[in-house]
Structure 1
Amino acid sequence: MTRLLSVNSYHYRRGGSDAVYLDHAGLMEELGWENAFFSMHHPKNYPTPWSKYFIDELEFGHAYSAAQKLVMAAKVVYSFEAQRKLRRLLDDFKPDIAHLHCIYHHQSPSILSTLSKAGVPTVMTAHDLKIACPAYKMLNDTGICERCKDGSVLNVIKHRCVRGSLAASAVVAAESGLHRMLNTYQRHLSKVVVPSRFFMEKFVEWGWPREKFAYIPNYVDASRFEPQFTPGGYFLYFGRLAPEKGVGTLLRAAAQAGVALKLAGTGPEDAALRALGAELGGGAEFLGYQGGAALWDLIRGARAVVLPSEWYENAPMSLLECFALGKPAIGARIGGIPEMIEEGVNGWVFGSGNVAALADRLRQVAALPEARLEDMGKAAREIVASRFSRDRYVEATLSLYAELGVSSS
């Protein structure tokens, strides 16, 4: 039986990357692979016998003492604890291949050398831009930022790129500076999986060799989603209420266009966006956190889903989910979003951050005949079933693993 080690900071569905980590492991188990996990202790973790190998919880947002924070900062840069516990797991499990997701700031990149020394082929899925950008988003308070591409990682400190915090930015600059010097990622990763072609091109721009990458799009199992092609009367945003998501632009555009808008989600901008919505008087409805069947029903009832992002999105799972539910999307022309939207077929794009352009799109879609929107919803569903399917994901993943000398048995 072929053995896979799945590695991620959190062992519960905290966000999209964590869902991919868990779903990927589950998928490989369905194919007959044996799977082990290496993660971090957390109160919300799902039970697993592999937790005895997990590293101690490390969350800078908690009320730790200055001494505890100093220890944690050192672990972010280079974690001897993670290396030690991973070596125990490798001795006991002996994986044929390791597939990593988000590890930095918790396990730290130091575990890559541990896997390499053990002779384990190591793949990482790039859910964000961290292996190039120290702050992982290529975004700070000034907007899109690529200063570290040709400059020093000290830009992270100068512009306080991590949560606007000098201390957090200094820790991340130290971590990135060390691992740039050691060339940790490029030396020890066998391959990097990119869910969007945009990410591949961005990494190549930042000096990575193209042959290090494998393009494998995310997938959804369309058979698990019951679509509704009949268009509803409102537009829907669902996701985090955070600055990079462009929700303020959406609120202004919806008010200008005079269309009904529902927003499902929470985040650091929740209060500010609610105040903006009230000030605009556009009647935007904030629904708070929505998940599971309630969220799917909201999507089914929408006219279209809107992704107004203002940062380098990768390959949003939210787009695949709305397509699987039979809804077209309006997406910002940034990052990997335009790769997933065929203009006039399963949705529309607009200039990221452009209120007037988005307002025009909203008016256009609000005025479209229902039959036209139904056809686009059906096309969206078909695109998911053909281009972003489970079978294509499995085929591409097994092909990559085989390239690294690991085959199913």
Structure 2
Amino acid sequence: MDNTKKKNILIVHNYYQIPGGEDTVVANEKKMLEKHEHKVILYSRNNAELKQMSKRQKIFLPITTVFNPRTYREIKKLIKQGNIDVVHVHNTLNLVSPAVYYAARRMKVPVVQTIHNFRLLCPGATFYRDGHICEDCVEHGLRCAVKHSCYRGSKIQTLACVLSTTFHRITGIYGKINYICLTDFNRKKLLELKQIKPERVFVKPNFIESKNECISENDRKDQFVFAGRLDKLKGIDFLFEAWKRMGEGAPKLIVCGTGPMEEWCKSFIRQNDVNIEMLGFVPNGEALKIIANSRALVLPTQWYEGFPMSIVEAFSVGTPVICSDLGNAGSIVEEGITGAKFIADDIEEIIFAVRRCRGMCKKAFNEYQKKYTEKINYRQLVAIYKGCTYE
């Protein structure tokens, strides 16, 4: 393969019925590659198609989820017609299927798969169930997922995911493709699947392009921000309890977001004398302005997370992050440099972290400029494409 020319890239993505962060990453990377004069083709399916399927198609869905012949044919055709150098896959569930890997292999083109979640090891993709971190499928086998109905609360749908993952582990395909993990923590977890070779696993975070500046700490308001879903998974109950225990001298906590615990949050504020202001849904741009004028963003997550873009957004305006020392969030934030970390479910630790998070604004902004700009991300992605191997 000629590494001196701009590589032709085939991006493959299966959209979920509800839009999410993965879709944004696909759009951003496609735009970035095109801006640098790469030929980019997007092959996509959308799970909204499931609603339009005939009964016959739905009967065969468990089979096509494992291997979709249509994907196999269409990917081979696109590789040939587009003179593709690298196939970059983001999501294959449910309609694309891992057939994309076999098609690229047949055409002798390297594949790189971005790991947005933990699905290769956990059918539920989160390593979380029943209110706690769960790695049973790694320790005791994928059958544990079926027992607990980990995918969408359905034993049948979970079984389909398990059969697919098991089949492709047996064929050895997971050991023949390349991977982009978003954090070192992700990479470490992925390598627990022993057939994957360490030299095939690269680390490249997501990026945002920002022209924001860093407001000095002295010019910021004495306030902290939570921006996200009001959900037990996000640790909102621990955060509110911490603010209650801080008492009268607590700084203001601004809460941007909605979710299943919204009424609980409002009731908590009514019943306790706490310095918490709930703003409900706040558009991303407005939320970023609030974060830029605050002392820190607080992320008390109770699970490993995927890649919390809120952390990078906070760094882009020079705002440090206080977060659980858990999973990907804990991997991104550096204690005493870009924020403060605490034991996920320890309320006193949250309070201590809030009180010691000072003097880090410039360092957080420097972290953004060093790791999370489009310019740096493009260099990393091109280097990964160059390092991808077929054999």
Q: Same fold (TM over 0.5)?
A: yes
Q: In the TM superposition, what whole-angstrom CA distance separates every residue of 1:291-322 from its partner, at most 9, and x where no partner exists?
A: 34212212123221011111113442211110
Query: 5+ residue gaps in structure 2?
Result: 1-5
Q: Residues 11 and 145 (structure 1 numbering): CA distance in 2 closer, same or farther, change over 3 Å?
A: closer
Cross-structure match for 1:308: 300
Structure 1 segment 14-163 matched on structure 2, within 5 A: 14-41=19-46, 57-58=48-49, 69-163=58-152
Cα separation, 2, equivalents of 1:263 and 1:257: 17
Range that drifts further, 171-180 or 341-350: 171-180
Cα separation, 1, equivalents of 2:115 and 2:104: 18
Range that drifts further, 104-113 or 194-203: 104-113
Cross-structure match for 1:7: 12
3-state SS in 1 of match to 2:151: coil
Q: In the TM superposition, what whole-angstrom CA distance separates every residue of 1:120-145 from its partner, at most 9, and x where no partner exists?
A: 21111111112222221111115111
Q: Residues 252 and 98 (structure 1 numbering): CA distance in 2 closer, same or farther, change over 3 Å?
A: same
Range that drifts further, 117-126 or 291-300: 291-300
Q: Specify which of 314, 330, 336 is matched with residue 328 of structure 2.
A: 336
Cα separation, 2, equivalents of 1:150 and 1:203: 14
3-state SS in 1 of match to 2:87: strand
Cross-structure match for 1:52: none
Cα separation, 2, equivalents of 1:276 and 1:204: 42
Q: Specify which of 224, 227, 231 is matched with residue 238 of structure 1.
A: 227
Q: Which amino acid aligns with 2:129?
A: N
Instruction: State percent identity of aligned pairs.
Output: 25
Cα separation, 2, equivalents of 1:67 and 1:278: 54
Deviation of the 1:271 alpha carbon: 4.5
3-state SS in 2 of match to 1:156: helix
3-state SS in 2 of match to 1:8: strand
Deviation of the 1:162 alpha carbon: 2.0
Cα separation, 1, equivalents of 2:124 and 2:197: 21
* Residue 241 (structure 2) pairs with residue 252 (structure 1): yes
Q: Please say if residues 242 and 350 of structure 2, whose CA atoms lie closer than 8 Å, have aligned partners that are also in contact.
A: yes
Cα separation, 2, equivalents of 1:12 and 1:325: 32
3-state SS in 1 of match to 2:14: coil
3-state SS in 2 of match to 1:287: strand
Q: Please say if residues 8 and 38 of structure 2, whose CA atoms lie closer than 8 Å, have aligned partners that are also in contact.
A: yes
Structure 1 segment 311-390 matched on structure 2, within 5 A: 311-365=303-357, 373=358, 375-390=359-374
Q: In the TM superposition, what whole-angstrom CA distance separates every residue of 1:350-379 from its partner, at most 9, and x where no partner exists?
A: 0112222112323444xxxxxxx4x41111
User: How much is the aligned-residue C-alpha RMSD, in angstroms?
Assistant: 2.8
Cα separation, 2, equivalents of 1:71 and 1:11: 19
Q: Residues 294 and 314 (structure 1 numbering): CA distance in 2 closer, same or farther, change over 3 Å?
A: same
TM-score, length-scaled by structure 1: 0.83
* Residue 204 (structure 2) pairs with residue 216 (structure 1): yes
Cα separation, 2, equivalents of 1:402 and 1:165: 41
Cα separation, 2, equivalents of 1:227 and 1:103: 39
Deviation of the 1:343 alpha carbon: 2.0
Q: Please say if residues 5 and 38 of structure 1, whose CA atoms lie closer than 8 Å, have aligned partners that are also in contact.
A: yes
Cross-structure match for 2:3: none
* Residue 384 (structure 2) pairs with residue 397 (structure 1): no
Q: Which amino acid aligns with 1:124?
A: Q
Range that drifts further, 199-208 or 377-386: 199-208
Deviation of the 1:15 alpha carbon: 2.6
- Count of residue pairs brought into register by the alignment: 379
TM-score, length-scaled by structure 2: 0.86
Q: Please say if residues 333 and 339 of structure 2, whose CA atoms lie closer than 8 Å, have aligned partners that are also in contact.
A: yes
Deviation of the 1:158 alpha carbon: 0.8
3-state SS in 2 of match to 1:344: coil
Deviation of the 1:29 alpha carbon: 1.0
Q: Residues 275 and 80 (structure 1 numbering): CA distance in 2 closer, same or farther, change over 3 Å?
A: farther
Q: Residues 17 and 304 (structure 1 numbering): CA distance in 2 closer, same or farther, change over 3 Å?
A: same
Cα separation, 1, equivalents of 2:139 and 2:303: 20
Cα separation, 1, equivalents of 2:181 and 2:131: 26
Q: Which amino acid aligns with 1:403?
A: G
Cα separation, 1, equivalents of 2:69 and 2:272: 52
Q: Residues 14 and 291 (structure 1 numbering): CA distance in 2 closer, same or farther, change over 3 Å?
A: farther
Query: 5+ residue gaps in structure 1?
Result: 42-55, 366-372
Q: Residues 241 and 39 (structure 1 numbering): CA distance in 2 closer, same or farther, change over 3 Å?
A: farther
3-state SS in 2 of match to 1:148: helix
